[in-house]
Amino acid sequence: MPTDLNEPSIQERFLPEMNCFGCGPANPKGLRLRSFAAEVGTVATFSPWPEHDNGLGYLNGGIICTVMDCHSATPMILEAERLGLAEHAGLLPFVTAGLDVRYLRPTPLDRPSQLRAEVVDATDSAITITVELACDGKTRAAATALWKRWRPR
């Protein structure tokens, strides 16, 4: 994680007006996930709310999927910028085309989880990202996200 959490997140820097439920800085009722560049890929910390309970005292799988999808966007945004494909400020250059999530073990609801994501393949038309959610040093869920190029018509 960055040493200064007061610095703008990737979401705040690139998409400050985004109202996405999972990561949109402009959605006051959303999860407001904040992701940061790391030495490899991106990292984030997610602190669940009591309302995110799956009914058994663990983090709900839909919330896990949401934060993994949203966090996987951050290395995609950085890669799109590197490739010169992020030409429109405030517009995602790629959209989620697929997210293959594997739930490996229950995720505690009463403490923060860490997210890590990195690019594994990138072209002008598609970017593939791996993303993991961990808590207490154990991977709780892992996913592969496929992002496809989106061009408004």
DSSP letter for each residue of the chain: --S-TTSPPHHHHH-TT---TTT-TT-TTS----EEE-SSSEEEEE---GGGB-SSSBB-HHHHHHHHHHHHHHHHHHHHHHTT---STTS-SEEEEEEEEEE-S--BSSS-EEEEEEEEEE-SSEEEEEEEEEETTEEEEEEEEEEEE----
Q: Over the stretch 35-81, which tens digit does the pLDDT of each residue have?
A: 999 999 999 999 999 999 999 999 999 999 999 999 999 999 999 88
CATH of domain 10-149: 3.10.129.10
Output the six-digit token pair for 42: 């991106």
Residue type, 67: V
Q: Over the stretch 72-125, which tens digit does the pLDDT of each residue have?
A: 999 999 998 888 877 655 567 889 999 999 999 999 999 999 999 999 999 989
> What whole-number distance in Å separates Cα of residue 84 and Cα of residue 81?
5
- pLDDT at position 87 is 61
More confident residue, 87 or 149: 149
Q: Over the stretch 2-48, which tens digit does the pLDDT of each residue have?
A: 546 789 999 999 899 999 999 999 999 999 999 999 999 999 999 99
- pLDDT at position 81 is 87
Query: Which sequence spans correspond to the domains of the chain?
Result: 10-149
- pLDDT at position 40 is 95
**Mean pLDDT value of segment 125-152:** 94
**Structural Rg of the chain based on CA atoms:** 15
- Burial code of 40-73, b = ≥16 C-beta within 10 A, e = fewer? ebbbbebebeeebeeeeebbbeebbbbbbbbbbb
- pLDDT value at 133 more than 80: yes
- pLDDT at position 85 is 79
> What whole-number distance in Å separates Cα of residue 67 and Cα of residue 148?
19
